[in-house]
Amino acid sequence: MGHPMHQTDIRPAGGTGFLVPAVFTATIFLSASLLFFVQPLFAKIVLPQIGGAPAVWTTAMLFFQSALICGYLYSHLITRYLDTRLQMGLHLALWALALAFLPLAIPDGWTYDPERSTAWQTLTLFGLGVGVPFGVLSANAPLIQSWYARSDGPSADDPYFLYGASNLGSLMALLAFPLVAEPLFGATRIGQGWAIGFVALGAFLLLSGLFAAKGAGGTRAATIAKSPAQPIPLPRIGYWILLAFIPSSMMLAVTTKISTDVGAIPLVWVIPLSFYLLSFVLTFSRRSYFSPTVMRFAYLAALGWLGAVFTGIAGAHTNLIGIAGMIVGFFVVAMFVHRRLYDSRPSGAHLTLFYVIMSVGGALGGLFNSIIAPVAFDSLAEGGVTTLLAATLVLSAAMVPTRRSAAMGVLAGLAGIAALLIAMNGFGIDDRLTLKLGMYAGIFLIVLLLRRTLSAIAIAAGLIAVTGAYVIPDGSIFNGRSFFGTHRVAEADGLRSYANGTTVHGVQRISQLDAARPDPLFYYHRNGPMAQVLTSEVGRAARTVGVVGLGVGSLACYRQEGQDWQFYEIDRIVDDIARNPALFTFMSNCAGDAPTHLGDARVVLSQQEGLKYDLLVIDAYGSDSVPIHLTTHEAMQLYLDRLSPDGVLLYHISNRYYAIHLPLSRSAEALGLSARIQDYLGNTDADPGDTSSRVVILARNEAALGSLADDPRWLRLTSDGGRIWTDDYANLLSTLE
């Protein structure tokens, strides 16, 4: 490893021979468990500060992957330049320093600033809160393997088997968090347990270091010292980076897609990451579980399904079956690529360098998905880009283009593009489905004509598909993307709609864009429960109204003369869309003077002491999920503090998957509130804009509800007796419908 070693062989014998690998396996297993348990734990702790967006986890993963590079690089350098005993002393000193950061918590004085980059603020928050403990843990996988190579334990010449134990510990910790720890304990108790484990790790590190120091003069170490390793060629390093990049980026793309459709919660985060780690466990082994032919076929099928999901061919919203298929597809991709990574591994002399390069590739995947993609794309296009990149790994020699085949492909592609443009501009065809089918028919024709030249087919099909993605109309008149999700304004069937992620959050009739007071639609239709409250005597009597979650400002057109309305919105792009009369006119026509407070609503409301609303509406969404931190007991108490004595609290909780009324009912009972709920079925047959919705209304007493208290459409909401959700504890799985 590049430093002097003693010549005495101190190989433990008998029972000690078993003790050495047992201690090292236990050490790396515990370290990996702590490393991957802290990721969802600290992300859960900081989630209320950032607003519950899917990008919180993607950005958190970028931090973890970047910290992993630092840890691996540190491990590489100290194993190369320091004696084993000095390595042990330095590493234990850093472990002791990390104890000062326990228990884990938000750093004192940290606050979210909506005027600054949310991604960079998230990275800073993770760095200040968990950077040092995570850095110590991240160095352990290569460092402990390097120490084992010096210990003269069994198989010390090929210590990669310990990486399997490391990933097994990581996998078990990840699954334990959402399935065991989170349902049973709050974040505080989980953090305390994690701190105890981190303290215990120090003893295991000391034992492992002592075994390594005793064996540092053994025969294997001496052989390594006498035979310096040859440098790794740059093309091979580049290949390692590519192989590490693809599964990392794909994992994050899958996680973002699921978080957008289901919600940003630890279970959603850890499932793709668990399969990512499981792929390491199964592939970083001398045993191969599947034949190359089977894996190649499964890989191609997986890429086909993932490509269909990420390009929208499988539909804008992915249901639970589609999500399961997406996870399976990602797992196949990770298995295929990580097996190639294992097969290209270097000798033990380059072990730490190999892990540094792997961590660089993984971090580049995080950088691409969390920083570059939101700026470069206005949709979740990173998944499609990574799928195309993954497809290059199965290119055969026949796919390498020659000058002639490249020219044929370009000419065929240009011909197909010309035909597409003529259909659009010459014949006036603007139907998306017709144009898409025509484009695929053109590609199929090219496949038939150039069937003997695969590289030409790939070039032509690529040119046509990429051009079609940009020129074929999709009904969008606006596309945007921010840290908090994707935003799309589109037109169809006489309606202009705004979608955040895959869920529509506001609709206006195109015919009413010039109307003085346009009709609110969908959840806010005049027949629905939201409108019932705002147009009742309770709503009309309210002098001050607060709305958490702006959407396109549909509710603004229920504003009565003389009322003071204020809005709360975490995403500036949403406010820009709502206030742009070229897109929607609810705000400009009905409440143009109403201010929007940018930032997380709980943080902003907590700072507005003395403010009292007669009616406070909680209507905050990230695609289809309600942010948990806006639904806890502490959140409800804050809302009550901002209500007048006879004020009314209105929750809009329409959702595909979760029964959010359950935790609300528990807190309402504990606080002695009067509660009603309405499940409105809508009437789309009579009006396409009259859709279903679920709404809960709360007040300190029955009288404050007015006539709504006896309205048969509003049912009394009683607690189910379950555990109250708090900022420390919330079990979203228990509310699955």
pLDDT digits (tens, 9 = 90+) for 460-517: 888 888 788 778 777 788 888 887 778 889 888 889 999 887 778 889 999 999 999 9
Across 25-39, 306-320, 361-375, 437-451, least confident range:
306-320
Residue 646 backbone dihedrals phi, psi, to 5 degrees: -105, 25
The tens digit of pLDDT for each residue in 147-190 reads: 888 877 776 666 666 766 777 788 888 888 888 888 888 888 89
pLDDT number for residue 5: 30
Cα distance between residue 27 and residue 34, in whole Å: 11
Choose between 705 and 625: higher pLDDT. Answer: 705
162 plus 281 within the same structural domain: yes
444 plus 375 within the same structural domain: no
pLDDT number for residue 44: 79
Per-range mean pLDDT, top range of 77-81, 82-86, 697-701:
697-701
Question: What three-state secondary structure class fits 403?
Answer: helix
381 plus 267 within the same structural domain: yes
437 plus 386 within the same structural domain: no
CA 529 to centroid of chain Cα atoms? 33
Cα distance between residue 249 and residue 58, in whole Å: 10
559 plus 455 within the same structural domain: no
Q: Residue 416: CB partners within 8 Å, gap ≥ 6?
A: 439, 442, 443, 446, 460, 463, 464
CA 607 to centroid of chain Cα atoms? 29
CATH code where residue 167 lies: 1.20.1250.20
358 plus 436 within the same structural domain: no
In sequence order, what are the beta bridge partners of 544? 564
**pTM score, two decimals?**
0.75
Residue type, 141: A
Give the total number of structural domains in the chain: 3
Element (H, E) at 364: helix 351-367
The tens digit of pLDDT for each residue in 597-648 reads: 998 888 899 889 889 999 999 998 655 566 788 899 999 999 999 999 999 9
Burial label, 707 (beta-carbon count in 10 A; 0-12, 13-18, 19+):
exposed
The tens digit of pLDDT for each residue in 307-329 reads: 888 876 655 556 678 788 889 99
Quick check: 651 pLDDT over 50? yes
Across 1-10, 47-56, 82-91, 265-274, least confident range:
1-10
pLDDT number for residue 4: 30
Q: Do 130 and 247 touch, CB atoms closer than 8 A?
A: no
Q: Which of 361, 394, 427 is the last residue of a domain?
A: 394
Q: Do 535 and 526 touch, CB atoms closer than 8 A?
A: yes
The tens digit of pLDDT for each residue in 660-692 reads: 999 999 999 999 999 999 999 988 888 888 999
Question: What three-state secondary structure class fits 676?
Answer: strand
pLDDT number for residue 295: 86
Residue holding tokens 């070693």?
5
Q: Do 87 and 78 touch, CB atoms closer than 8 A?
A: yes
Residue 547 backbone dihedrals phi, psi, to 5 degrees: -125, 115
Mean pLDDT to the nearest integer, 401-415: 88
Cα distance between residue 365 and residue 247, in whole Å: 8
372 plus 223 within the same structural domain: yes
Range of the domain at 55: 15-394
Choose between 400 and 366: higher pLDDT. Answer: 366
Cα distance between residue 425 and residue 146, in whole Å: 65
Quick check: 248 pLDDT over 50? yes
The tens digit of pLDDT for each residue in 266-295 reads: 667 778 888 988 888 788 777 777 788 888
Cα distance between residue 359 and residue 472, in whole Å: 39
pLDDT number for residue 316: 58
pLDDT number for residue 395: 66
DSSP state of 568: E
Cα distance between residue 417 and residue 70, in whole Å: 47
Quick check: 247 pLDDT over 90? yes
Cα distance between residue 482 and residue 379, in whole Å: 10
pLDDT band at 137 (very low <50, low <70, confident <90, very high): very high
CATH code where residue 674 lies: 3.40.50.150
697 plus 631 within the same structural domain: yes
Among 310, 9, 43, CA closest to 191: 43
pLDDT number for residue 313: 64
Residue 80 lies in a domain: yes
